[in-house]
Structure 1
Amino acid sequence: MVKEIIVLRETGILLFHYSVSGTRRLDELAAAFLSAVGSFAQEVSQDRITVMSFAKNKLVWERKGDLYFIALVSEEDSGEIHRVILQDLAEQFVSTYYSDLRRELPDSKRFRPFADIVEVTLQKFDGIPGLARRYKTVLLPAEELNTLKRVLSEVEVNRDILRGGMITSDGHVAVSNLRAYELEAALDFVPTAIEKISMKEHSSLEKGSSFLLIQIPKKGIAAFVVKLGMSEKTYLDLVNPFTSLLQLTSFENARKFEPDKVEGPISFYDFDAVETAVPIEDIRRETKMSLSAFSESIQSGALRLVNSIHETSIVIEVVDASSLIREQADEVLAQLIAKGVVRISKLFPVMEDRDERFVAYLEVIGIKKRDFDIVDSIWKYCNGSLSLREISERSDVPAQRILEVLRALGNHVKWLKERVLSHVR
């Protein structure tokens, strides 16, 4: 279930907010989202990570240009289906408000009518996310899907046709009003259903009812739960509006989905900065409250992590200080980010110009040749315009070594938390 949707510029400017119940939880999470999404581990592409779980909810997002379209949904909901919904909304938002979006600071009031488009779009996908939690599903164009659902409902008005649905030949659910256990049974019948029409009794069904399975050539099976006592021809006549429509429906180009796999754990980049957003005592208090359901060892580790945060902390240092395994420490960080008490920031080193004074300083501290070679190779990048990760990628020097060498230079290196627009020296 979609709870909230926001449209956010990558600069942090909130353009649009939609809430089903009037809550504004995503407003609180916006800064945390931007903080976290920029710090995912390097081995995992930000373009591929589009789901982030927090407690009983998760964020699903799509990026279009400099805009993030973010949905707050239930933890068990299908991330992939909601990404499709967000893709649909992104196209409509950009096409509707293209001229407004060209302004650096557009008036957010202009975007309020988009709430109507959001509601219409969510109605188009009504029921699909729930199916996709557990079953393979096929997503037809909205107009065709709504027509199928309407005709199926009309067929079910007859008291002898209790519920129905359609499953493709390869086991994807296209539309269904069947109960969960009925759908499970119908899916079991698909591989073995070879007759054009068949009646199948099943232990899961109420007494006096049966499955009616009808082959839809080259498409799949229409499955109905019907009351026993009528002729085969009568049943066929009753469900004909739905089965005839299925024969005219093309499933070849429809998008197919697998049930959501458990999302992999979030992992933050080792050499990004961890900084407090509120006083440390408030973080300790929030940590105890938000992690009260966790084991005592995780709670203790979380407090060690919090206590290790200082002005120049980086992710790997607070993780090590926690003595937790990496996945647990990353989950603690994610929880603290979600609560808005901790931020993850990129580090942008700025090194002094290489004048005589700087060279003399290097001689005084007796810098080793291998360290001097690193300084020499990265100096041109250390002007605040590139993050530590970006410098590592450009110079092929491990970020850990760059950090070690630059920290040894003390006050001759400044560590910024925001990018400075500048030319590389």
Structure 2
Amino acid sequence: MTLKKPTASTPAPGVPYYTPAQNPPAGTALDTGAQVPTLFTPLKLRDLTLQNRFAVSPMCTYSADDGHLTDWHLVHLGAFALRGAALTIVEATAVTPNGRISPEDSGLWQDSQIAPLRRIADFVHSQGHKIAVQLAHAGRKGSTLGPWHVVPGRHEVATPDVGGWPDNLWAPSAIPWDEGYPTPKEITVAEIESLVRAFADAARRAVQAGVDAIEIHAAHGYLISEFLSPISNVQRTDEYGGSFENRVRILLDVVRAVRAAIPEGMPLLVRISATEWMEYTGGPSWDLAQSKRLAPLLADLGVDLLDVSSGGNNPRQKIELHPYFQIDMAAEIRAELRRAGRSSMAIGAVGLVTNAEMARSVVQADGSLAGRQDGTVEVDGEHGTKTKADLVLVARQFLREPEFVLKTAALLGVNVQGPVQYHRAPLKKEHL
């Protein structure tokens, strides 16, 4: 559908309905120069340019209809782009039906799931921003209930009477997630090959839906993460088990397949758990040292950004929690990549980013105090201004404050564009 009557506003390009163009998009710094913090400068990944360094981290909402996104997702995800998030990543999206976490998870295993995703992509693009989708397989953590259905003290398994598939879970080894959970099936080499094809097919569907980037989910104890870990991948004797090279093979296979399935100019992201927080046992586990070893392999295969999270593969994990508990690991991987000459792969950091100064400090260019325009913004004494990552991925704080980008700009004294329709209600520091 095209606009059929004159309007003083320029229509947003490339969308099938009229809405005013956001030129520049919300969250774009209107001033330039040394006083603009890195957080509000563009980031280029292949042919994709983000207006600022904020990304909406993929967050499961357990609200899809047989894998199809709905108007819930349009409103939920659209709110972030409307208010200035440069990149919005759609929640974990299963590449096969048994790859869902819950019966209500998003999916891209069939063509009918393309159109609902395209509708959301069109809206995000109408706001001048970008959208990605996280492709995933839940492995042994599949067939569980949405979290608000869980009765305290009882397990979370979704049984067949509520659409679950507890008898059809895949894992590298036949080891259940925890007591009371189903024992998964040890996935065969033939099934691994079909899984790799499923990731590639889902990536092609995402491209048809108009997304701007793809993220592969290799974190949080889901199937690929299970293969990486010597705790959950302990029984295999084939080329996908045992040594580090064998345990990372499935991820490298998926990266190659997805990279080949998407346009050359489209960025490819991978999320990993930098550690599974099981070092305290003294036994083998996935840890930061192996993540540092993995990172250059991903860079060499054409991964453009490594999204660094942690944990999720063992219920007995012991997280060393502090505000920078994941960001510091991202910084170490970033530094290691640069020492290895792989600086072309960017790093994304996530975890407990809840305020303006923390968001600024994560990506601020080394040694710069840009953005500190009054006495209210302080440089963190321990962490300083050394660059830790290239992109800030924010999760729960966006749920609390969809306007987090605009609020951060106001607190840091950065003059940014807001949504044109909200011109009468600019967000200023005195409002906070």
Q: Could you tell me the TM-score, scaled by structure 1's length?
A: 0.25
Larger C-alpha radius of gyration, 1 or 2?
Answer: 1
Task: Name whichever structure is richer in helix by fraction.
Answer: 1
Q: Which has the higher strand share?
A: 1
Instruction: Report the TM-score when normalising by structure 2.
Output: 0.24
Which protein has greater RCO, CA pairs closer than 8 Å, 6+ apart? 2
